[in-house]
Amino acid sequence: MVHSFLFLYPFVMSIVWMVGGCVYAWRRERHPFAESPDLPETPFVSILIPCHNEGDVLEDTIGRMLQLDYPAYEIVALNDGSTDDTRAVLERMAACDARVRVVNLPVQRGKARALNAGLVASRGEILVTVDADAVLAKDALRFLVWHFVAPGSERVGAVTGNPRIRNRGTLLGKIQVLEYASIIGLIKRAQRVLGKIMTVSGVIAAFRKRALVDCGMWDEDMVTDDIAVSWKLERRAWDIRYEPRALCFMWAPERLRSLIRQRARWAQGGVEVLIRNASVLWTWKNRRMIPLYVEELLGIAWAYLWVVSLVWTLAFDVAHGIPWTYVAETGTWLGLTSLVQTSVALWIEQRYERDSLWRYYFYAIWYPAAYWMIGAFVVVWAVPKACWAMWAARRGRYATWKSPDRGVSA
């Protein structure tokens, strides 16, 4: 029974993601790629950039943001208690361009606290949150704003964009290029078809300010602000959409330690959201979120069972003989499924890349071989940590964290 679940869960979910991704691509992306949409109106946009000790990358980030193809926007840089030269860099750039505004927070209280301060200071009804080391494609704002001004968009609360990896020089960097295409992008497409998106991308997301105020803004005690605010919006019946043409270019961690730390934070944040939103299981108006909740629970159960099964096999089955035939058969099927999923995703995503994504296909086999193991172990570690963090949150603690490395090939 356990072995069947360990095989069937990733196998079935992969099929769901592939079918959902293809349906989305057929319905929304089969027409020729548009340079930029014609907007019936161009509301003022505030780009919020929270930053803590990001002096090395801010000049490049903000410099590129000032070249976006959109007529009315501002950049609100949120200095979250930085101890390096972040403040000096921001104030120098604000002096050079009136579109740049700086909010200095004297003590670090986390990304969510900075974003809440930015919401209060912003002048736009549409807020776009971007990480300090990321840059938007020139037409990204137009694609994001279209969802808020198109006919019938009154209940659109957020739109998540399409992150792309900039640093592709190491094995981990190449694997993450495939991950963001074959896993993250495909899952968001499938979830959009099924009705509810698990989370916006923290590196690029647009929000309607009224929706954020309605749901209580960002939670300052949650380690993953993007997942938490997504669930708050959807529980208040705000719609979250996915816009694959709104490209954002980001640096990915290329050191194993930094990657594990990042994934552990993501896993902890997901568990925290499940704990805080357990009431969706018995709240009728949130019934459409139950499949998301159950799928997350199944993922956690799969991680624990996989780790327990691995430990049991190494501790006891080695002496009596490991069932290599079963391991080889299931491993082969899951590996082939992962390769097919990657192929489907690259076929969909290739239109958004100048360089061929297929050149990274050789590294696709490393994803199930390495990332699934890393993911399973960090989930096992993250569950008790998330329970402790939720208890600490009741005592008024803020969720703060450090950015991962910017990539050794940067």
**pLDDT score for 121:** 93
**pLDDT score for 6:** 83
Instruction: Name the pTM for this structure.
Output: 0.90
**pLDDT score for 255:** 85
Which residues, 6+ apart, have CB-to-CB distance to 181 below 8 Å?
342, 345, 346, 349, 357
Residues 253 and 172 sit within 8 Å (Cβ to Cβ): yes
Give dist(CA 213, CA 205) in Å, integer: 16
| Structural domain count of the chain | 1
Would you state the torsion angle of the CA atoms of residues 17, 19, 22, 26, taken in this order, to the nearest 10 degrees?
Answer: -130
Question: 108 in a domain, yes or no?
Answer: no
**pLDDT score for 38:** 81
HSE, side-chain direction, 13 A CA sphere, residue 375? 14
| Per-residue pLDDT tens over the stretch 96-142 | 888 999 999 888 888 999 999 999 999 999 999 999 888 999 999 99
**pLDDT score for 282:** 92
Give dist(CA 175, CA 172) in Å, integer: 5
Domain around 216: 1-32+154-405
**pLDDT score for 278:** 92
Question: 146 in a domain, yes or no?
Answer: no
Give dist(CA 58, CA 65) in Å, integer: 10
Strand partners, 98: none
Length of the chain: 410
Question: 196 in a domain, yes or no?
Answer: yes
Q: Number of H helices and number of E strands within the chain?
A: 15, 8
Q: In this structure, what token pair is assigned to residue 234? A: 């959807």
Which residues, 6+ apart, have CB-to-CB distance to 344 below 8 Å?
18, 21, 22, 182, 186
Residues 363 and 245 sit within 8 Å (Cβ to Cβ): no
Question: 16 in a domain, yes or no?
Answer: yes
Question: 237 in a domain, yes or no?
Answer: yes
Q: pLDDT tens for the chain, 410 residues: list them.
A: 777 888 888 899 999 999 999 999 998 887 765 567 888 889 999 999 999 888 888 888 899 999 999 999 999 999 988 888 888 899 898 888 889 999 998 888 889 999 999 999 999 999 999 998 889 999 999 999 999 999 888 899 999 999 988 888 788 888 888 888 778 889 999 999 988 899 999 899 999 999 999 999 999 888 888 999 999 999 999 999 999 999 999 888 888 888 888 888 889 889 999 999 999 999 999 989 999 999 999 999 999 988 888 787 777 655 555 565 666 677 778 888 888 888 899 888 888 877 778 888 887 777 776 677 788 888 888 888 888 777 766 555 666 666 656 665 55
Tokens 């990042």 identify what position? 262
| Per-residue pLDDT tens over the stretch 154-168 | 899 999 999 988 888
Strand partners, 249: 135, 164
Question: 42 in a domain, yes or no?
Answer: no
Question: 22 in a domain, yes or no?
Answer: yes
Give dist(CA 92, CA 86) in Å, integer: 10
**pLDDT score for 39:** 86
**pLDDT score for 253:** 85
Question: 147 in a domain, yes or no?
Answer: no
